[in-house]
Amino acid sequence: MAKDVFDTSNINRGNLLPPAFYLGTDVVELARTLLGKVLVTQFEGARTAVRITETEAYRAPDDRACHAWNNRRTSRTEVMFQSGGRAYIYLCYGIHHLFNVVTAPEGMAHAVLIRAGEPLEGLGYMMERRGFPPEFAGETKKMQRLTTGPGALANALGLSTKWTGQRFFDADAPFWIEDDGFRVPDKGISAGKRVGVDYAGPCADWPWRFWLSDSPYVRR
* 12-26, 55-69, 162-176, 195-209: range with lowest mean pLDDT: 12-26
Helices (H) and strands (E) in the chain, counts: 4, 8
For position 94, what pLDDT does the model report?
Answer: 81
For position 220, what pLDDT does the model report?
Answer: 76
Measured CA to CA in angstroms, residue 219 lies from 40, 48, 55, 118, 176 at distances of 20, 20, 11, 12, 23
Supply the DSSP string of 42-53, one letter for each residue: EETTEEEEEEEE
For position 6, what pLDDT does the model report?
Answer: 40
When pLDDT is averaged across residues 80-84 and rounded to a whole number, the result is 98
pLDDT interval class at 5 (50, 70, 90): very low
Beta strands in the chain (DSSP E): 38-43, 46-59, 86-92, 96-103, 110-121, 175-178, 189-192, 209-212
For position 4, what pLDDT does the model report?
Answer: 37
For position 10, what pLDDT does the model report?
Answer: 52
For position 214, what pLDDT does the model report?
Answer: 96
For position 136, what pLDDT does the model report?
Answer: 95
For position 11, what pLDDT does the model report?
Answer: 52
When pLDDT is averaged across residues 26-38 and rounded to a whole number, the result is 98
When pLDDT is averaged across residues 23-46 and rounded to a whole number, the result is 98
pTM to 2 decimals?
A: 0.93
Residue ranges of domains in the chain, CATH in brackets: 13-212 (3.10.300.10)
For position 9, what pLDDT does the model report?
Answer: 46
Residues 29 and 80: their CA atoms lie apart, in Å, by: 18
